[in-house]
Amino acid sequence: FHDKASKLFPPKAKVVEVQNAQLDIQWLDIPVVEKSRYRLKALPDNTMGFQSQGFTFPAGRDFDGEKLTDFFNDLPKFTDGLVRAKGVFQVLGTWVWLN
């Protein structure tokens, strides 16, 4: 699966198949590589016309939940043609998923 993971966009640290939601706790120790902002002009084999943009923040970065929620709520006003925005953020020491 590592070969598959490295070829995905954005590249993933690990891709696995699980049964009955059984995860290996050691997967949490896989190092996260911080990446700067990236954007493709066109995705390979992109027949749907969608583009992707992503960010990776430094480990331990804690976000203001209210400001983050406001940002996601206002994002369609700032981004023409936005189809989807999602993210996992640390807020007040716990993890929050926004989609």
pTM to 2 decimal places: 0.48
CA 55 → CA 22, 36, 45, 97, distances in Å?
A: 28, 6, 23, 15
Domain interval for residue 82: 57-99
- One-letter amino acid for residue 82 of the chain: L
Question: DSSP code of 47?
Answer: S
pLDDT tens for the chain, 99 residues long, are 556 666 665 666 777 778 888 888 888 787 766 655 545 555 556 565 666 777 788 778 899 999 999 998 888 888 777 778 888 899 998 888 888
pLDDT in tens, 69-92: 999 888 888 877 777 888 889 999
Shared-domain flag, residues 2 and 37: yes
Shared-domain flag, residues 76 and 51: no
Alpha helix locations (H) across the chain? 2-7, 65-78
Shared-domain flag, residues 44 and 65: no
Return phi, psi of residue 92, to 5°. 50, 40
